[in-house]
Amino acid sequence: MKKLLKYILLIAAIGLVGYKSVYFKKLSDGTNASGKKFDAVIFSQKLWDEKMPAKIDSAVDLAVLMNSVTKDKEAAFNKYSNALGIGNYRYAFIKTQAKVIAVNEDEIQVQLNVADSIMNAVLATEYIYGNAIRDASALIDVKDFPNSADLNSISEQVNKIVRSTVLPSFKSTVKKGDTINITAAVELNKEHIKWPGLELLPVRLQIVH
């Protein structure tokens, strides 16, 4: 009986040690393989300075995108858009010229001459949020960031860069009647495409006249 009790106590002790030696690390801890905390500010600024300009330069003309979607929607989205996950929502960098028809506190109403017709759109100037700019760039591979908190922090920082560097000087000078060149990220639902009223999240802006 004493021997049986010793075996039971030994097995319990081994189990306790094994339990203590196993721990679960939350993805939200935000550490990489080297154990260092992911720095979204440094990463995003480097991304913006070194890789984003080329992506912005290669933005597809909005008229080209619309025409391509009309001809072959699937091929157009595969060529010109990007998404980190599966689903209907896709993101793209587009470029277009527009006329300012109204300057509001949080956005600018613009008119675009697209495919021999006039289309209204909205240029966001205050609420730059979400993942559209990050995903439209196609610079982030979800496999490199198993931590969803890191992915979200990249979006937050890139959006913050736009709000702090792209928009201030533009907002202080733009006025109704101006013609502007816009490069922006757009979100498109493949199954429910709605071009009029398209929201543009700017990454580059230029007042032409």
Q: Give the DSSP per-residue string, 102-114.
A: EE-SSEEEEEEEE
Candidate from 14-28, 70-84, 129-143, 188-202 with smallest mean pLDDT? 14-28
- φ, ψ for residue 34 (rounded to 5)? -85, 0
The Cα 24–Cα 15 span in angstroms is 17
Per DSSP, the three-state class of 73 is helix
- φ, ψ for residue 94 (rounded to 5)? -120, 160
Residues, the chain, total?
209
The Cα 38–Cα 49 span in angstroms is 18
CATH H-level, domain 30-207: superfamily? Envelope glycoprotein gp160, DUF2291, alpha/beta domain (2.40.50.420)
Asked if pLDDT for residue 23 goes beyond 90, the answer is no
Position 35 scores a pLDDT of 58
The Cα 145–Cα 143 span in angstroms is 5
- φ, ψ for residue 177 (rounded to 5)? 95, -15
Average pLDDT, the chain: 86
| Nearby residues of 84 by Cβ (< 8 Å), 6 or more positions away | 131, 135, 140, 142, 151
Position 37 scores a pLDDT of 85
Position 117 scores a pLDDT of 85
Nearest-5° Cα angle at 55, 64 to 156 = 115
| Nearby residues of 49 by Cβ (< 8 Å), 6 or more positions away | none
**Each residue of 121-155: b (16+ CB within 10 Å) or e?**
bbbbbeebeebbbbbbbbbbeeeebebeebbebbb
pTM strictly above 0.85: no
Residue boundaries of the structural domains of the chain: 30-207
pLDDT digits (tens, 9 = 90+) for 127-157: 999 999 999 999 999 889 888 899 999 999 9
The Cα 108–Cα 102 span in angstroms is 6
- Give whole-number Cα distances, 18 to 6, 13, 180, in Å: 18, 9, 66
